[in-house]
């Protein structure tokens, strides 16, 4: 067993960047963010990766819920087969306990310069300056700026809703940055899932007063994915009183959700009424120009030299903003790890764009992949997306998951959405099963080769 010359920090940072895009904000912040790659060594042609966790509770959760995703990203980043070992013990967690993050959560002065944005759990680059504006988000952007200028007065609460990856969280956190920068008070960002977990832990350890103090004594409370609290009576009760306490003291509440309050099922009527008392604004899907602008902004943040032509080619091929960021993560990973140079040809390869001799690009869409797999196995699209689990349908469906995941590089959640709203763990299991079978089944390699030819050449 030998040590491997791999930059552990860069490798793990690339893994974390990818995981942040495929799991919920609450799961990432609560369980994954404080993990650390402790050691990489090689044994019998594979990499043994030891990852440190902040506690035994986190270790158990990751083993049960995120094992496959972590393994998949490790293998993607390193380019080798990996074996994952989770251990209790993380330098990041120890630093948080003993370092600056252990300062009181709220101080009289908590500006940007003294790290207030870290205590507020904001991302450094989620500011108004880094937010690309177009028709689909212009109203939400204007409302957020108005709230930041007159905290607790204009549009209180502010409720922003829209699909995955349209910039809701970025816009909400930008408000928090402005509040801190202008020294208008304390800020706290969390997800609905984190709020729920905090309350559960508080009840478990008889520390409800501490949690109430944490959430109620802020000038601006930013709640991401607030729909998560729906259907949980105890959590909704606590949030109702927290909401009232903040507004009573002149504070601001900003929330995001994937749907408007009227469409959140199992949300108590009194909360639905409170949410609707301010301003409710939606953010639509990003158009081509906005996607291009987002790519240029985020590539600059990641120190990637991305020409306008390349950005437009990517924006034309990828519609989801979350998927755009995932694509940039992959480009940055390849540059940092040093395996491949970022060229137009490499971008085309990652996009799976075939350039005929006339120079025109042919874009491969998920619909084409579904059609090719369905035609090869003589199964209709509705059956592939449906609920039937017979072997003659389930196996082609898993092959479809494999192609969408590993050939088109779509995130797990996006593949699940395309295939009838399936859970990301189902996609992970299905695509992983095909990947494993490929190692020992030459017939399957032949089948997938034929399907791949149909997909990328259009040869039916």
CATH number, residue 136: 3.40.50.300
Greatest mean pLDDT among 99-113, 186-200, 443-457 lies in: 186-200
Quick one: pLDDT band at residue 105, thresholds 50, 70, 90? very low
- Residue that finishes a domain, picked among 63, 97, 131: 97
Indicate whether 306 and 245 sit together in one domain. Answer: no
Indicate whether 274 and 130 sit together in one domain. Answer: yes
pLDDT of residue 223: 95
More confident residue, 425 or 115: 425
Alpha-helical runs (H) found in 99-232: 116-119, 138-149, 168-181, 192-204, 208-216
**Which structural domain range is residue 312 located in?**
288-351
Query: How many Cβ atoms from other residues are within 10 Å of residue 1's Cβ?
Result: 7
Indicate whether 243 and 111 sit together in one domain. Answer: yes
Report the C-alpha gap between 341 and 34 in whole angstroms.
30
pLDDT of residue 104: 37
Contacts of 69 (CB under 8 A, 6+ apart): 19, 22, 23, 412, 424, 428
Greatest mean pLDDT among 123-127, 199-203, 414-418 lies in: 123-127
Indicate whether 241 and 194 sit together in one domain. Answer: yes
Indicate whether 299 and 421 sit together in one domain. Answer: no
The answer to whether 164 touches 24, Cβ cutoff 8 Å, is: no
The answer to whether 165 touches 322, Cβ cutoff 8 Å, is: yes
For the chain, what is the domain count? 4
Indicate whether 223 and 298 sit together in one domain. Answer: no
| DSSP state letter for 354 | B
- What tokens appear for 71 in the block? 């393994």
- Residue that finishes a domain, picked among 234, 252, 283: 283
CATH number at residue 432: 1.10.1750.10
Residue 230, pLDDT > 70, answer: yes
Report the C-alpha gap between 27 and 409 in whole angstroms.
22
Contacts of 401 (CB under 8 A, 6+ apart): 415, 419, 427, 430, 431, 434
pLDDT in tens, 37-54: 999 999 888 899 999 998
More confident residue, 459 or 91: 91
Indicate whether 171 and 225 sit together in one domain. Answer: yes
- Residue that finishes a domain, picked among 283, 314, 340: 283
Q: Is 432 annotated as a binding residue?
A: no
Indicate whether 207 and 88 sit together in one domain. Answer: no
Q: Is 167 annotated as a binding residue?
A: yes
The predicted model gives 288-301 an average pLDDT of 89
Residue 99, pLDDT > 70, answer: no
The answer to whether 118 touches 188, Cβ cutoff 8 Å, is: no
CATH number at residue 31: 3.30.300.180
Residue 244, pLDDT > 80, answer: yes
The answer to whether 113 touches 280, Cβ cutoff 8 Å, is: no
Report the C-alpha gap between 397 and 384 in whole angstroms.
5
| 183 domain residue, yes or no | yes
Q: Is 169 annotated as a binding residue?
A: yes
Instruction: Choose the weakest-confidence range: 80-89, 225-234, 363-372.
Output: 363-372
Report the C-alpha gap between 315 and 80 in whole angstroms.
30
- What tokens appear for 25 in the block? 């904000």
Q: What is the mean pLDDT of the chain?
A: 84
Report the C-alpha gap between 357 and 416 in whole angstroms.
35
Q: Is 152 annotated as a binding residue?
A: no
Percentage of the residues of the chain whose pLDDT score is greater than 70? 88
């Amino acid at each position: 067993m030998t040590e491997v010359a791999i930059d552990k920090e860069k490798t793990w940072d690339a893994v974390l960047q990818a995981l942040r895009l495929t799991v919920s904000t609450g799961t990432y912040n609560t369980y994954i963010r404080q993990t650390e790659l402790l050691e990489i060594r090689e044994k019998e042609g594979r990499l043994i990766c030891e990852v440190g966790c902040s506690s035994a509770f986190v270790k158990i959760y990751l083993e049960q819920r995120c094992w496959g995703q972590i393994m998949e990203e490790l293998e993607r980043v390193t380019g080798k087969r990996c074996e994952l070992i989770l251990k209790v013990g993380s330098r990041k967690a120890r630093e948080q306990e003993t370092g600056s993050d252990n300062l009181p959560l709220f101080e009289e002065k908590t500006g940007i310069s003294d790290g207030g944005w870290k205590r507020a759990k904001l991302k450094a680059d989620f500011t108004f300056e880094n937010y690309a504006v177009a028709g689909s988000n212009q109203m939400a952007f204007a409302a957020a700026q108005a709230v930041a200028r007159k905290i607790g007065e204009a549009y209180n609460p502010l409720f922003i809703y829209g699909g995955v990856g349209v910039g809701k969280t970025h816009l909400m956190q930008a408000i928090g940055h402005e509040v801190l920068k202008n020294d208008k008070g304390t800020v706290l960002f969390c997800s609905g899932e984190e709020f729920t977990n905090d309350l559960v832990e508080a009840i478990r350890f008889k520390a409800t007063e501490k949690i109430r103090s944490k959430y109620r004594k802020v000038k601006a409370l930013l709640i991401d994915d607030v729909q998560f609290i729906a259907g949980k009576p105890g959590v909704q009760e606590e949030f109702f009183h927290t909401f009232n306490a903040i507004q009573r003291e002149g504070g601001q509440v900003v929330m995001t959700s994937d749907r408007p309050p009227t469409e959140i099922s199992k949300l108590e009527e009194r909360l639905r009424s409170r949410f609707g008392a301010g301003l409710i604004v939606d953010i639509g899907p990003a158009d081509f120009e906005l996607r291009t602008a987002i790519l240029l902004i985020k590539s600059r943040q990641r120190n990637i030299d991305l020409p306008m032509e390349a950005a437009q080619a990517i924006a034309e091929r990828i519609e989801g903003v979350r998927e755009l960021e995932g694509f940039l993560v992959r480009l940055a990973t390849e540059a940092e790890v040093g395996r491949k140079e970022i060229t137009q040809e490499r971008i085309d390869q990652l996009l799976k764009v075939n350039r005929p001799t006339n120079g025109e690009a042919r874009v491969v869409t998920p619909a084409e992949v579904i059609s090719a797999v369905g035609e090869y196995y003589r199964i209709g699209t509705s059956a592939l997306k449906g609920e039937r689990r017979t072997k003659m349908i389930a196996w082609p469906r898993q092959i479809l998951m494999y192609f969408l995941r590993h050939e088109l590089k779509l995130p797990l959640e996006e593949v699940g959405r395309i295939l009838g709203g399936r859970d990301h763990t189902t996609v992970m299991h299905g695509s992983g099963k095909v990947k494993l079978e490929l190692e020992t089944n030459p017939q399957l390699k032949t089948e997938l080769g034929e399907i791949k030819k149909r997909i990328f050449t259009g040869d039916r």
